[in-house]
């Protein structure tokens, strides 16, 4: 069998790590670095955050596209040739980083940190009651690879955890809700809501005024899914009314946001620039090597994106 080629299209610094890992651990796979000026590539495998637009012409023999992210909303799936399988990034390091971030965000909201930061800026020393984690209900939207890991870590910290997904789940110690009909019942007790959904036609703009109204008064929001999940004007209104007490947002509809974006300056919003988790190049390269070998051996591919569901 000839040596398969993996075409790499992403930033060169991370590319150097891919090159090292492939040379050290996969001499059976050739690495080619994408260039916009290069002639069409013979590669059967492509790894990219954003694939080239004219994929059918520039990589005509492509069999598998490995997305560099866990999310695939930016991949323009409808424009990819149907014969190409799309595999998304599932990697223990990516999951661990996300769990850390969600724990941090939920704990910050649970312990009133946004309010204490304002107090500090304004010179106030004003203790608030300390609530036990067991008395706080946290809801996680999306119980996939990342959502489930985050929900389990929150459960292990003692929170009362509920989760919402498309299909029913049975996760020890976590109350499951599934599908649109179960959404109001799920939201009704979520004092802190964590969004870890993929962005699809079904979830775009889901976090709107109606959803915020269904949460208990004073609820907190953590969005680590995509900015497109939140109707930002509705979030601002819910923050203004106090119905949402505070939010920790890692993603916004426009990234980077314009400097006068109202969420950037909001005293009860903590923002980070889409860093909740990240694909670590050395472990990602190992995942892709393993997947290519499985594919060469005719074994079923893991973490394939369902084109119809778009996640
Ligand atoms: P998965 O595909 O493993 O899980 C998605 C979950 O969402 C599943 O539980 C699925 O339900 C549920 N879901 C999908 N559509 C709906 C719907 N319409 N209604 C209810 N539930 C739904 O994804 P991951 O956990 O790996 O990643 C989740 C998202 O996190 C990514 O798509 C990406 O947008 C985001 N992300 C953000 C990062 C950041 O740094 N901010 C980093 C990495 C990812 P079911 O299980 O029934 O199919
Ligand atoms: C991802 C991301 O989807 O980084 O992996 O947002």
Q: For 21-48, write each residue's pLDDT tens digit.
A: 999 999 999 999 999 999 999 999 999 9
Q: Indicate if ligand 2 lies below 6 Å from the C-beta of 67.
A: no
Interhelix angle for 145-156 vs 92-110, to 10°? 50
Q: What is the mean pLDDT of the chain?
A: 97
- Examine the pLDDT at 281 and tell me if it is beyond 70: yes
What is the whole-number distance in angstroms between the Cα of residue 147 and the centre of ligand 1? 7
Q: Is 229 a catalytic residue?
A: no
Backbone angles phi, psi at 216, to 5 degrees: -60, 150
The number of helix segments (H) and strand segments (E) in the chain equals 9, 12
CATH superfamily of 95-271: NAD(P)-binding Rossmann-like Domain (3.40.50.720)
Among all ligands shown, which has an atom nearest to the Cα of 309? 1
How many whole angstroms separate alpha carbon 8 and alpha carbon 19? 9
Out of 226, 229, 266, 280, the active site residue is: 226
| Residue 164: band (very low, low, confident or very high) from pLDDT cuts 50, 70, 90 | very high
Element (H, E) at 33: strand 30-33
For the chain, where do the domains classified as CATH 3.40.50.720 start and end?
5-91+279-296, 95-271
Q: Indicate if ligand 2 lies below 6 Å from the C-beta of 69.
A: yes
Greatest extent of the chain over all pairs of C-alpha atoms, in Å: 71
**Residue-level pLDDT at 224:** 98
Q: For 260-279, write each residue's pLDDT tens digit.
A: 999 999 999 999 999 999 99
Q: What is the pTM of this model?
A: 0.97
Q: Is 226 a catalytic residue?
A: yes
- Examine the pLDDT at 215 and tell me if it is beyond 70: yes
How many whole angstroms separate alpha carbon 46 and alpha carbon 166? 30
**Residue-level pLDDT at 1:** 66
Q: Indicate if ligand 1 lies below 6 Å from the C-beta of 226.
A: yes
User: Would you say domain 5-91+279-296 falls under CATH 3.30.565.10?
Assistant: no
- Among 50-54, 120-124, 257-261, 262-266, which stretch is predicted with the lowest mean pLDDT? 50-54
């Amino acid at each position: 069998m000839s040596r398969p080629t993996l075409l790499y299209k992403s930033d060169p610094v991370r590319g150097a790590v891919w090159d090292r890992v492939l040379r050290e651990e996969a001499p059976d796979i050739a690495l080619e670095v994408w260039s916009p000026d290069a002639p069409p590539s013979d590669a059967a495998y492509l790894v990219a955050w954003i694939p080239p637009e004219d994929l059918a012409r520039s990589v005509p023999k492509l069999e598998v596209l490995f997305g560099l992210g866990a999310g695939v909303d930016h991949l323009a799936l409808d424009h990819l040739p149907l014969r190409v399988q799309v595999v998304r990034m599932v990697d223990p390091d990516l999951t661990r980083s996300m769990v850390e971030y969600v724990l941090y965000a939920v704990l910050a909201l649970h312990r009133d940190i946004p309010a204490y930061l304002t107090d500090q800026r304004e010179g106030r020393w004003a203790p608030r009651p300390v609530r036990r984690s067991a008395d706080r209900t946290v809801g996680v939207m999306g119980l996939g690879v990342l959502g489930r890991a985050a929900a389990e870590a929150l459960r292990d910290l003692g929170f009362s955890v509920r989760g919402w997904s498309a299909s029913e789940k049975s996760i020890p110690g976590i109350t499951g809700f599934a599908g649109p009909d179960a959404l109001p019942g799920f939201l009704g007790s979520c004092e802190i809501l964590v969004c870890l959904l993929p962005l699809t036609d079904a979830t775009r703009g889901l976090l709107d005024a109606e959803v915020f109204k269904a949460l208990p008064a004073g609820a907190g929001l953590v969005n680590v899914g995509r900015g497109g999940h939140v109707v930002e004007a509705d979030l601002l209104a819910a923050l203004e009314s106090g119905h949402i007490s505070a939010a920790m947002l890692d993603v916004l509809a426009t990234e980077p946001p314009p400097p006068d974006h109202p969420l950037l300056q909001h005293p009860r919003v903590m923002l980070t620039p889409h860093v909740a988790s990240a694909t670590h190049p050395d472990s990602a390269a190992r995942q892709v090597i393993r997947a290519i070998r499985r594919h060469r051996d005719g074994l079923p591919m893991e973490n394939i994106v369902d084109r119809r569901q778009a996640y």
